[in-house]
Amino acid sequence: MTGVYDSLIVRFAARVQAPLLQLYALYVLFHGHYSPGGGFQAGAALAGSYLMPRVAEGAVAGNRGLTTRGATVLAVCGVLVYGLTGLLSLLLGGTAFLDYSGLANLPWPMPHGPAVRAIGSLTVEIGVAMTVMGVMITLYDDLVARPREGA
Amino acid sequence: MKWSALVGLVFAGALMVYGAAELPSFGSATSPPSTHVSPRYLERAWDETRAENQVTAVIVDYRSFDTLFETAVILIAGLATALVLWPDHREREP
């Protein structure tokens, strides 16, 4: 499986397209409030931007930036971000778990009224995107790992 | 035994067809799902959540508790699959 596509064009294209895909994924994530999109879709696109170099250059050479272990930690942190946002909004005076209006009492300036709920929604969407991205990269890396010689 | 199963199957199928005839037509504006909470979401999502996309408003605000555990399900399914594939007896590509 070394050098899956031994082609300069494929490697170069994967390298150039990955940042563009990441930029588009961030657009999908942050624009999910106004158009189709959101955390799940953005997480899939972000994972794609990290998987494209792995597919084009092989699992080790393309493994720049985010290791398998890092991806797993990222997935767990995504659920933590989501849950802690809910807990924080409850502790800061919301009426229920995940009632984002409590986030208005954060120690730094926050918008009041319904606008603060948009910020809470965005935070949990970021958590969702982190989890989807981490799980997809973890699964890909574990699937392409091959048995050790003689094991 | 096989014949009694066939009779039971036909009976159950006829019962389901009979029940399906009473279902509201697709996209009906007077069906219970369209008259209970959906109008409230559509009319007040912007005022309450500042989300122009009502799908987003429902997913991450009105029903965010559901989405929290959806995310947790993705994580648990991914971790379980990764454990099955755990590369302790494997290695990365050289």
Q: In angstroms, rounded to a whole number, what is the distance separating the alpha carbons of residues A81 and A62? A: 28
Crossing angle of helices B64-84 and A68-91, rounded to 10°: 160
Q: Which of B49, B64, B66 to mutate to test the interface with A (most CBs of A within 10 A)?
A: B64
Residue B94 pLDDT: 46
Crossing angle of helices A115-144 and A8-30, rounded to 10°: 150
The verdict on B56 touching A (C-beta cutoff 8 Å) is yes
Most confident of A9-18, A121-130, A138-147: A121-130
Q: In angstroms, rounded to a whole number, what is the distance separating the alpha carbons of residues B45 and B7? A: 50
Per-residue pLDDT of chain B (94 residues; tens, 9 = 90+): 788 999 999 999 999 999 988 888 887 888 887 888 888 888 888 888 888 888 888 888 888 999 999 999 999 999 999 888 876 655 555 4
List chain A residues with CB under 8 Å of B87.
142, 145
Residue of chain B whose Cα is closest to the Cα of A99: B61
The verdict on B37 touching A (C-beta cutoff 8 Å) is no
What ipTM was predicted for this assembly?
Answer: 0.84
What's the pTM value of the predicted model, to 2 decimals? 0.82
